[in-house]
Amino acid sequence: MTFNVRFDLNQVPERQSDDTSLDGEQPWSARKWKIADTILLYEPDIVGLQVRKEPLHHQVLDLAELLSADYVWVGCGRKDGKEDGEYAPIFYKRQFLSEANFKTIWLSETPDKPGSVGWDADQARIATVVTFDVKTDNGQKQIQVINTHFDNKGEKARKESAGLLLKELSATQLPMVVMGDLNSEEDSEPYLELTSHQYTNSHKSTGIRIEQLNRKSAVEEAKRSGMPIRVPGHGIALPTHNQFRPHKLDPKNLQPIGQQHGFKDARYELQTRLEGFPGFSGPYGHQNTFTSFGAPGEDPPSVIDYILLGNGVKATKFAVLENRYDDKLYISDHRPVMATVSF
């Protein structure tokens, strides 16, 4: 799970004595409980958190206390590499995971220098890189996880930050997952560079996906029953069978097994029923990951939070979850994004 939980305004809710409204942005003291509840409800093994500004150290400590029964965390402040400044902490379940090694890289020309500000960025930005030992029924295996938060103002900084993450990918043979708030939409240079330009116009609406699923289901039923079945669009599914014909598999279209040169977006790489996998029919929940707090003049909803997959990692579930229910409390101005992966 990746979740931008927003910084603490240190404010007291402005409401009259008889007003119990929770509209708009509420202080951390109100939001932290629901953020922790969200994590405890969905029980992700790994959670990457981000915020936009300081302070954050006490926010990390608050969540560490609320999640202490199941989770431990790793990370540091971006200003000094200790406790000062924004964190990009990674919380993980101690029952299934243990930390093999951990480092912080600064998204700058000097990635090993604490507090360094890169290119045209407004402030220092970091990525938390953790290699986990994962307990399995057959022993253990390793995966590398990166949690990051790109700068919201520096266009060059975001593009160069993408390049730093690609260097991390090329430097390891381990399965890798990158998650975070990239402050970059799907048509932006940083996202396109990270994903090797492979998802241009790839989004399928729910309506299109459902129509394709119904058509596929009708074709499969026709094969089983031997009877033609009507499908959406007034078509007919005939009881035919798939056959492999000579030269049907063109070697030019086969992907060689080896080092992956770009990340895959878990949203679009999700293994669904449409592709013949059991499980989800498609990505679950919302499309947009950033919502704002609903005030006039705030930035419009957009997709800027991602879970990206590196070497040998596949997504079996993907969801953009809710950040506001009918109590009207926005627990953050971002929605949590969650994926189940295999490797």
Residues 136-188: pLDDT tens digits? 988 899 999 999 999 999 999 999 999 999 999 999 999 999 999 999 999 99
Q: How confident is the model at residue 225 (pLDDT cuts 50, 70, 90)?
A: confident
- φ/ψ region of 298 (left if φ > 0, alpha if ψ in -120 to 50, else beta) reads beta
Domain boundary assignment for the chain = 2-11+19-199+268-342, 208-255
| 133-136: long-range pairs with CB below 8 Å, 24+ | 133/97, 133/98, 133/99, 133/100, 134/96, 134/97, 135/95, 135/96, 135/97, 135/98
DSSP string, 188-247: SHHHHHHTTT--TT----HHHHHHHHHHHHHHHHHHHHSS-EEETTTEEE--------TT
What angle (nearest 5°) sits at the alpha carbon of residue 135, between those of residues 143 and 315? 50
CB atoms within 10 A of CB 270: 24
Q: Which residue has the higher pLDDT, 199 or 92?
A: 92
pLDDT recorded at residue 204: 67
Per-residue pLDDT tens for 65-102? Answer: 999 999 999 999 999 999 998 999 999 999 999 999 99
Radius of gyration of the chain (CA): 22
Q: How confident is the model at residue 255 (pLDDT cuts 50, 70, 90)?
A: very low
Is it the case that residue 250 has pLDDT exceeding 60?
Answer: no
- Across the range 282-311, mean pLDDT stands at 93
**Strand order across the beta sheet in which 139-149 lies:** 97-106, 126-136, 139-149, 176-181, 305-309, 264-265
Per-residue pLDDT tens for 257-272? Answer: 455 689 999 999 999 9
CATH of domain 2-11+19-199+268-342: 3.60.10.10
